[in-house]
Amino acid sequence: MSPFHTSDTDSIDAQAALWFTRNRDAHNAPADPAFSTWHAVPAHARAYAEFEALWADLGELEHLNKPVPLPVKKPSRTGYGFAVATAAAIVCALFALNLGTPVALYQQPVATYREGAKTLQLPDGSTLTVNANTQLRIDFTAQVRNIYLEQGQLYIDVAPNKEHPLVVHAGDAQIKVVGTGFDVRRSQRQLEVSVAHGQVAFMPDANTSTLLGAQQQATYDYAKGTLQTHTLNANEVGNWRSGHLSFRNRELASLVDELDLYRPGVIELASGPLEHYKVSGNLNTADPLALVKALPALIPVKTVLLDSGKIRIEPR
């Protein structure tokens, strides 16, 4: 049996990501018999190999992005011939580094407010959807496609391009991909990454990293410095783009955190065990307060209207 208690609904990519992360963290430990049994299935072995290749590619990318000082040589009598040969070598190197689909240099700030989601077609062929009250900056260079998420939420279907990975930066955190569809939400409380399809390398800080596959979600708590992973239904990733948010067994703290996108500073949650209450339901993003009013019928809480105009959710 898998130590991750995977169910039949878990995708093979999700299982491969969990095994890869576990094996990488315990690389000096003897092979796990459960992993050997799982890996013996050809489809499992292929998915695991894809994660190994992705992780190797990302490591090579980091290495290539480090500046390397070039040696300086004194000019010789054959300087002209040497200069021609050097120029030819540089041209060949630049040609080799730019194999694959070229990425146009592109920079654009994006900001949304309460008007809701906005969709942009990026010059590399990717489709970016930005949620309400979100701020980000797009910066495509010759080597890497960068998106800097200052606050809020985005979903992006990334056009595959192995030579030019896409990196979402959220403060010190990085989410790296070469071609996939995934969702990132950043708030003051947490950073959450959810994968619809493909594979994502998530590094919330300098000492923490994990690989996520399809229908997997990772939530990083800034205050606690902890990372939790969950398995989602296929239709749960980025479903806010339709204007309706569906969720199951969602922690109340995470749900309130997301509601803050639609009504910033209006909803307040009492601290304590209440944060971990599980909620399932549906939400119209145009009327998030309707869900807040319905919470007492779903879980043992009460809503209190404060003098400041905020709505506070407290245990009942």
Domains of the chain (ranges, CATH numbers): 243-316 (3.55.50.30)
Task: Kindly report the backbone phi and psi dihedral angles of residue 222, in degrees, each rounded to the nearest multiple of 5, phi listed first.
Answer: -65, -45
Which residue type is seen at 118?
K
Q: Which of 214, 260, 210 is nearest to 233 (CA)?
A: 214
Residue 34 is predicted with a pLDDT of: 84
The reply to whether the predicted model has a pTM over 0.85 is: no
pLDDT interval class at 211 (50, 70, 90)? very high
Residues 6+ away with beta carbon under 8 Å from 209: 201, 202, 203
3-state secondary structure labels for all residues of the chain: CCCCCCCCCCCHHHHHHHHHHHHHHCCCCCCCHHHHHHHCCHHHHHHHHHHHHHHHHHHHHHHHHCCCCCCCCCCCCCHHHHHHHHHHHHHHHHHHHCCCCCCCCEEEEEECCCCCCEEEECCCCCEEEECCCCEEEEEECCCCEEEEEEEEEEEEECCCCCCCCEEEEECCEEEEECCCEEEEEECCCEEEEEEEECCEEEEEECCEEEEECCCEEEEEECCCCEEEEEECCHHHCCHHHHCEEEEEEEEHHHHHHHHCCCCCCCEEECCCHHHHCEEEEEEECCCCHHHHHHHHHHCCEEEEECCCCCEEEEEC
pLDDT for 97 beyond 50: no
The C-alpha atoms of residue 306 and residue 56 are separated, in whole angstroms, by 53
Residue 71 is predicted with a pLDDT of: 46
Cβ–Cβ < 8 Å for 130, 120:
yes
Q: What is the pLDDT of residues 21-36, one digit of tens each?
A: 777 666 555 677 888 8
Cβ–Cβ < 8 Å for 238, 196:
yes
Q: What is the pLDDT of residues 272-296, one digit of tens each?
A: 899 999 999 888 988 989 999 999 9
Which residue type is seen at 313?
I
β-strand 145-157 against 127-130: which pairing, if any? Answer: antiparallel
Cβ–Cβ < 8 Å for 234, 215:
yes
The C-alpha atoms of residue 290 and residue 275 are separated, in whole angstroms, by 19
Question: Which residue has tokens 């050997």?
Answer: 36
Q: Cα dist. 134→34, 114, 118, 227, 276 in Å?
A: 43, 9, 10, 23, 26
The C-alpha atoms of residue 187 and residue 301 are separated, in whole angstroms, by 24
Q: What is the mean pLDDT of residues 88-98?
A: 39
The C-alpha atoms of residue 172 and residue 286 are separated, in whole angstroms, by 32
The C-alpha atoms of residue 112 and residue 103 are separated, in whole angstroms, by 26
% of residues, the chain, pLDDT over 90:
48
Residue 163 is predicted with a pLDDT of: 87
